[in-house]
Structure 1
């Protein structure tokens, strides 16, 4: 049985993923943004440990990494937590970093860099990564006009870039990206086409398959797809790692 951390497991796809893993007998470590949401997270896996930390804060993300590591060793980390697009205005965190970029990209990078290496890493992305732009000269929309959906698409592309970069840097770790589909959640909205179990199935499979050997891949419904071409560009991968290291003060080990 595997030991798995699922970030953002208070509701939606993360909660479904945690509940499915727990029901199958795996040891799940839950995560929630605050104590109120932690109570919701615990309903997915009663009795499971739950770590708390707001990914919109570098300080809290660092503390979260240490808290999660204390529940280790972890076999798998599923980077599920994230913010949706569509914000009308650019928002900035307490760290002076654009909110979508910090939560969707910088936080999973920092957790990856600070926590002991698991055997498997799964980064959730979106089909909108296909229209994302890896503009690492201005990833936080400091100079170009704000576009909430484009910023979201960009962040989801950078999640794939991060997954592929880690796969290349850490050959002993299976690091992959997953598009869960358009799922009926608070984030996906009532018009979404797919149900919660479909949104969790690929992450569960990647976390638990006994014959898993693939790394640096992009999946949807257990099928490998081609990602945005920028994700395969080693120069883009290295620039993203360097940018994240500069913003957090933490370099990816190895």
Structure 2
């Protein structure tokens, strides 16, 4: 049995993964951005051990979530599921950051840097990352006209880069990324064509540690099968630059 923390798990794929893992006998801790959503999540999954509350949009909020998770003790796995989608308008957080970057990329970095190192890390990416450019020279969209779809795709490329960077740095951790498919969640929209029944399986499989086939690191998956990621995701130089940018913005170094 594993103990697993899942960000953005009050609804959607995060909650679906939590439900599956709980059915398999694992201990699950949920996360929601507000107390009301946390209460709803606990009602939806009463067997969850706890629900951590905190808004990952801000640096302070992400640090608070990490602190609350650390109070609960050690986790065997963390699933970085929290995200906003590709139809987002341009909006800056109170930290002056595009909220798509703040939630999708930076919060995953902060939580990884601050939560006690688990055995497994799972970063949700997207099929849209395959055609994205990391654009590390303008990650914060200061010199480009905003495009929500591109911003989302870039952030999901960044998530894969983080997963593979951690895999290179932390040899004792299985750190992988995946795309769940374009499925009809609130984020994906009602017309999304992929199979909702499979969208949560890979992240639960990678996090649970019940199958030796999941004992890999630095890999990318789709529906529990390995798939090639955007080549930029595997570039050590780009990974290093991304981590340096996230460290500078957050004030949090990634432990070696």
TM-score bucket of the superposed structures, by smaller chain = over 0.9
Q: 1:223 to 1:217 in 2, by over 3 A?
A: same
| Aligned pairs (5 A) from 1:78-117 | 78-88=79-89, 90-117=90-117
> Following the alignment from structure 1 to structure 2, what is the Cα–Cα distance between the partners of residues 98 and 185?
23
> Following the alignment from structure 1 to structure 2, what is the Cα–Cα distance between the partners of residues 194 and 147?
24
> Following the alignment from structure 1 to structure 2, what is the Cα–Cα distance between the partners of residues 150 and 20?
32
Cα shift readout 1:120-143 (whole Å, capped 9, x = no counterpart): 000001000011111111011111
> Following the alignment from structure 1 to structure 2, what is the Cα–Cα distance between the partners of residues 199 and 70?
30
* Equivalence for 2:196: 196
* Equivalence for 1:133: 133
Aligned residues: 253
> Following the alignment from structure 2 to structure 1, what is the Cα–Cα distance between the partners of residues 181 and 123?
14
| Aligned pairs (5 A) from 1:142-157 | 142-157=142-157
> TM-score w.r.t. structure 1 length?
0.97
* Equivalence for 1:164: 164
> TM-score w.r.t. structure 2 length?
0.96
CA-atom RMSD in angstroms: 1.1
Cα shift readout 1:81-112 (whole Å, capped 9, x = no counterpart): 00001224x21001111110010000000000
1:31 is displaced (CA, Å) by: 0.2
Moved more, 226-235 or 181-190: 181-190
1:210 is displaced (CA, Å) by: 3.7
In structure 1, list runs of 5 or more residues that go unmatched: none
1:44 is displaced (CA, Å) by: 3.8
* Equivalence for 2:77: 76
1:39 is displaced (CA, Å) by: 1.6
> Following the alignment from structure 2 to structure 1, what is the Cα–Cα distance between the partners of residues 41 and 184?
18
> Following the alignment from structure 2 to structure 1, what is the Cα–Cα distance between the partners of residues 196 and 32?
19
* Equivalence for 1:232: 234
The answer on whether the counterparts of 2:22 and 2:47 sit within 8 Å (CA) in structure 1 is no
The answer on whether the counterparts of 1:113 and 1:252 sit within 8 Å (CA) in structure 2 is yes
The answer on whether the counterparts of 1:4 and 1:27 sit within 8 Å (CA) in structure 2 is yes
